[in-house]
Amino acid sequence: MAQVFTIQTHQRDEMYEITSTLEAYLEEQRVNDGVMYIYCPHTTAGITINENADPDVVHDMLMRLDEVYPWEHPKYRHAEGNSASHLKASTVGSSQVVFIQNGKLLLGTWQGVYFCEFDGPRTRKYHVKILNK
């Protein structure tokens, strides 16, 4: 069974690092080796892994996504007016898989897991499932 986590977003486009929440959940589960699945069930949000040491990386990612997928475009047809959010979410992806080794998430030195909001502010959920070796 997957554990469901709730997050409150505050801006239209944001990246929230959720690594510490995932690490705490892993510690509670006492899994030494396995796989963690992180899944976002929303069509205008996603999950990614990227650098967590320099906040400018998040800034630059959001900036470029805005440039590639502007909020307004004369050819968008989606009636809700949030086509850019759907495009960004599809580009980022809805899930990530992280190996668990020796009771820790097997992330690179500068890597973190992010919940990516593209149509906020909203109350969002993401699901986490751990498979034990």
Cα–Cα distances in angstroms (integers) from residue 126 to residues 4, 38, 68, in the given order: 6, 7, 26
Residue 1 confidence class, pLDDT cut points 50, 70, 90: confident
The pLDDT value recorded for residue 88 is 97
Give per-residue pLDDT as tens, 56-91: 999 999 999 999 999 988 888 888 889 999 999 999
Give per-residue pLDDT as tens, 85-117: 999 999 999 999 999 999 999 999 999 999 999
* CB of 11 closer than 8 Å to CB of 117: yes
Give per-residue pLDDT as tens, 30-59: 999 999 999 999 999 999 999 999 999 999
User: What would the 3-class secondary structure string for 19-54 be?
Assistant: HHHHHHHHHHHCCCCEEEEEECCCCCEEEEEEECCC
Q: Rounded to whole angstroms, how far apart are CA atoms 37 and 126?
A: 10
The pLDDT value recorded for residue 75 is 85
List, in order, residues 6 or more apart from 124 with CB less than 8 Å away. Answer: 6, 7, 8, 9, 40, 42, 45, 115, 117
* Mean pLDDT, rounded, of the chain: 96
